[in-house]
Amino acid sequence: MTVRLAVFDCDGTLSDGQAAVCKAMLTAFAEAGLPTPDLHHVRRSVGLSLPQAIARLAPDASAEIQANAVEAYKTAFRGARLDGSLHEPLFDGIPALLARLRVAGWLLGVATGKSDRGLRSCLQTHGVFDLFLTLQTADRHPSKPHPAMLEAAMAEAMAAPADTIMIGDTVYDIDMARSAGCRAIGVSWGYHAPEELIAAGAEIVVQTPEELGDLLDV
């Protein structure tokens, strides 16, 4: 039986963490003594590893200041998680989609710029952690669009590139899929525009999780 693997991005694809990311980034930049970042650019950096995102947002800052901002971001995000103010809801239709895919025999994975702890917390909070076979994060791999996360997910699932689909909302996801030799499907409800995803190589951009389920024939 052919193994079919669907690998999802997290922020902007499975979950809506926009408010949490922007709040933590504003705090991090203030504590590191950096100018307030443009929130449009903050949102567009979602999907990269945290160090890469901050380097992109503050390219003229020294490596030391960038590192300080990274630690300040982690502290702010961790504090929000501990005090209960962190809000990262799953997008409407995502839980039902994941359940449909598992019933249909798909193996599920995540490839994300989040940390191991952040990803686990998000998935456990929403009761979907156990649906996923493979979880790949920026803690253990180079940032997207490097293909390492997808390659590790395929190895863990014993899935071939031809039988693996990367599903994401940014060009970083699409570029990663192309580098790994996988199919790429974009989603319209995240951080990059559909036309950008198509230009990057997505075979299609779906408008809803239900449409994605229909496309995958489940």
The residue length of the chain stands at 218
Average pLDDT of span 182-195: 97
Q: Which of 129, 141, 27, 132 is nearest to 73 (CA)?
A: 27
pLDDT interval class at 1 (50, 70, 90): low
Q: Which residues are catalytic?
A: 9, 11
Give dist(CA 134, CA 66) in Å, integer: 30
Return mean pLDDT, the chain.
95
Contacts of 175 (CB under 8 A, 6+ apart): 144, 145, 200, 201
Taking 90 as the threshold, does the pLDDT of residue 217 lie above it? no
Strands across the sheet with 5-8, in order?
A: 134-137, 107-112, 5-8, 164-168, 183-187, 204-206
- Enumerate domains of the chain plus CATH numbers: 5-16+88-215 (3.40.50.1000), 18-83 (1.10.150)
Q: What is the rounded radius of gyration, in angstroms, for the C-alpha atoms of the chain?
A: 17
Q: What is the pLDDT of residue 180?
A: 98
Q: What is the pLDDT of residue 146?
A: 97
Give dist(CA 146, CA 15) in Å, integer: 22
Q: What is the pLDDT of residue 81?
A: 87
Question: To 5 degrees, how large is the angle CA 211–CA 93–CA 45?
Answer: 85
pLDDT in tens, 60-115: 999 999 999 999 999 999 899 889 888 899 999 999 999 999 999 999 999 999 99
pTM for the whole thing?
0.91
Structure letter (DSSP) for residue 160: -
